[in-house]
Structure 1
């Protein structure tokens, strides 16, 4: 029996992230005499029939964005034509006059899409040429996956430079959700059809803006999912978009981030905030923080790798772990569901050997990876978790490590690494599948080849407490939150979940 995952994406940055994610999933399909993929495609893709009875395989996904953000991705696609599907709709018979059609000027396709449509090798993408996330999309969606929203013009009109635009405000996101849900019942119209066609849903993967109106919209949506599907795992990835803003906009984003953290930590199984840039940037990483294409690619490398175990084929020596299996590592004994995300990337053609003096050096081909002998959680050199302004050393309570390497898989040979270690739970999984570097993926990693090795860590640690306390201070100073004292108290109480028992033992050792 398949244990499916339904994906929901809210807002432009999450749809850039989702496009990278779905492009990677499409690349795992195998054809003809190729070896079977380790990925169970039925978990994320749904079979169907186009109007001409052609078999289709499209993502189990709902993509929400403003109507003008879809670009050339239309409801009528190469696989489906909604006009044909709706030709016999009885509602069409209620209007017996000629239809008046108003057409906007067509959006010219990106050169990348033109090449794909012609079956030609696509040209390298110039970041400055991208206008929409659909410009580098490689996947066909079912029309009902694409949900454009058209809020009232007053909620979209830009303000003067440096001022807040309406769709950056939390209250606007709540208002748009209330209006849409009140008119259509979003779960009944959009989500339920995808859920009911599944054998057994293991959970929901939610990607959303974390510091704008989309955070509020998604928070209300996730609350409804929790009410409707209480036992299912709900993983929320809260993404930041590019920066370049006034002080008022920066303060608004901090306030929205605090409200999002409290809302998603309340209703989601796990909440993973993802920065739009790395806290630390190793020499091999080059990300343009002003490019959604770049920042979403880094976020996708972490998110897609961390969730790999949830879509592996089952049976035999499979390392399949459901979303709930991995979440239990963090939440079984404590209410620690705000998770830090970090990663490290490596060129698969370079191996690090442990030499006779205990040092390491890089060689080409062959050898033993020093990561195989790590007893403590590995130090990963890219962190996507926003730290507090004055962070302390991070004490790790629990961590799930996923290492993806071409042709090398299996659980760690050291059984102790997958059990409790000094008040710490560490689970390590090795998946024999590199991260594909497609033509749609920017060269943010200074490696050659068409795939790279990636090691991600999802962890709960004392650094979360430092960040949550900082956001509680932001809330206390904010004038944008009606019940700021209540929210501040909730955040401080949540921070205590990440220090109880650890700060006490630390002070005992100091004595």
Structure 2
């Protein structure tokens, strides 16, 4: 079945992941004559709960601090009820019971639970979204909920490389992670193709790196596709006086350097502050994690869609090989247009989430595009635009429009996109029932993955920053990163320059080849 094991680590990663799984849920079909273009068994696992009730849940492990789960433990209990042991047989004397105040269920979850068939026409109010679980629409297996202990208010783990390593070590010893959750998930697979990872780098970079190292020791041939969400500290020639800023940069650099060996394909994401400000023409983003994660999820879900198509020939190995055209380009950029406007020149609105730039380099080593819902005239305009790229390999997939479940934020400037949530065409009325049938609205989009020389500039920026920091390091200043000696920093800088050199290839060597085009049913055309 080409199964994938998913891993999410960190608050922002779980915000993005929640949107991702809500989108997967919207692909399910329930009519006897309906067929989905997505193979759900790639991402979901089938099983039974304690009451022998059939379950269909994401094949997922999600890591976050316990306090960031919100009310998920209760909203998830209708499918998987927790067994609570009683101590009454052990103690018959007086007892004093202390309970922590429960997190209130969000208004969206309350309405979702009370609406027949889970069909509703409303979006969550952004002010009501306190946790990523507040807009969740799927049930998770208990093995998926990996709750880490909360930290005291005075402790900040962001940029602390050593803290992440120690946290993973303790959690792995307490839960026997690989032999319990991971192995049990993998034993349910018929043809495991790899692991897809998304994590916050600032607080969970070294934690995820430790997980990937342990995972690779167990399954050395299993590939990984990793999407690191970089911290809000950007490398520059100017060295700030505050150590936490430098710690985050070095933490990001260490994680990216190690992913060069641990991951088959890595797609770094810049802090949302660098790209949400560029979407003013089409979206009303409020700067919240709820809004930013929706946009990021739309692109990551779309570009990885070929791995989940029913009739797809793609595997994680072939998927990454098309982008890593010379064996030295494990890093790619992600971006696109969401939504696609229907007036020229709409491709000027393309957004790069990996490199803080409004334009994509026209000289690509390799590129993979996924369009969603483009009609014939717009598709022709897309073909004319994409033919101007110079690349060694190019592939495009044309799929149905991107679905917008009710959990997706209403942040579109074009109000007609979500009209179907409030305004129903006559053909959608069920005359045999007082309940009105509604359809999930959708939106056109373009998402891409590209390997270009621009990626090398990212590593050059980190290398230059570290070199400058080493030269100007003040006496007594310490950085908690696990490699805080000057020799370790110099080695890190050299490794980053080595990765950079893999993207410094003369573009005159690039040649054009015939593009593979995949149509809406997932078949590759000539």
TM-score range, shorter chain: 0.7 to 0.9
The whole-number CA distance in structure 2 between the counterparts of 1:497 and 1:331 is 10
Q: 1:257 to 1:335 in 2, by over 3 A?
A: same
Residues 166-222 of structure 1, C-alpha deviation per residue, up to 9 Å, x if partnerless? 344222111111222233332222211101111111111101002x12111011111
What is the aligned partner in structure 1 of residue 337 from structure 2? 344
- Is structure 2 residue 225 aligned with structure 1 residue 230? no
Contact 1:77 1:143 in 2 (8 A): no
Residue aligned with 1:83, SS? coil
What is the aligned partner in structure 1 of residue 431 from structure 2? none
Residues 77-130 of structure 1, C-alpha deviation per residue, up to 9 Å, x if partnerless? 11112317xx7xxxx99x844698642112111100110111263643222221
What is the aligned partner in structure 1 of residue 263 from structure 2? 268
Task: Using the TM superposition, give the Cα deviation of residue 457 of structure 1 relative to its aligned residue in structure 2, in angstroms.
Answer: 1.0
User: Which of 271, 293, 304 matches 1:296?
Assistant: 293
The whole-number CA distance in structure 2 between the counterparts of 1:464 and 1:66 is 32
- Is structure 2 residue 298 aligned with structure 1 residue 305? no
What is the aligned partner in structure 2 of residue 50 from structure 1? 49
Residue aligned with 1:274, SS? coil
Contact 1:158 1:166 in 2 (8 A): no
Q: 1:34 to 1:452 in 2, by over 3 A?
A: farther
What is the aligned partner in structure 1 of residue 187 from structure 2? 196
Residue aligned with 2:216, SS? helix
What is the aligned partner in structure 2 of residue 366 from structure 1? none
What is the aligned partner in structure 1 of residue 251 from structure 2? 256
User: Which of 494, 498, 513 matches 1:493?
Assistant: 498
What is the aligned partner in structure 1 of residue 409 from structure 2? 442
Q: How does 1:32-431 map to 2 (within 5 A)?
A: 32-33=31-32, 35-74=34-73, 77-83=77-83, 96-97=90-91, 102-119=98-115, 121=120, 123-150=122-149, 153=151, 156-158=152-154, 165-210=156-201, 212-240=202-230, 248-275=243-270, 276-277=272-273, 279=275, 280-281=278-279, 283-289=281-287, 291-314=288-311, 319-346=312-339, 351=342, 360=344, 381-387=350-356, 395-405=363-373, 424-431=392-399
Contact 1:341 1:384 in 2 (8 A): yes
Query: Unaligned regions of 5+ residues in structure 2, if any?
Result: 235-239, 419-440, 471-477, 511-526
Residues 459-483 of structure 1, C-alpha deviation per residue, up to 9 Å, x if partnerless? 1111111110001122231652421
Contact 2:325 2:393 in 1 (8 A): no
Residue aligned with 2:338, SS? strand
Give the stretch that moved more between structures: 69-78 or 119-128: 119-128
Task: Using the TM superposition, give the Cα deviation of residue 250 of structure 1 relative to its aligned residue in structure 2, in angstroms.
Answer: 3.8
The whole-number CA distance in structure 2 between the counterparts of 1:243 and 1:446 is 30
Residue aligned with 1:215, SS? helix
The TM-score with structure 2 as length reference comes to 0.78
CA RMSD in angstroms comes to 3.5
Give the stretch that moved more between structures: 256-265 or 107-116: 256-265
The TM-score with structure 1 as length reference comes to 0.80
Query: Unaligned regions of 5+ residues in structure 1, if any?
Result: 160-164, 353-359, 363-377, 506-511
Q: 1:220 to 1:144 in 2, by over 3 A?
A: same
Residues 225-277 of structure 1, C-alpha deviation per residue, up to 9 Å, x if partnerless? 22222222201111247799996544333222212211222201111111224
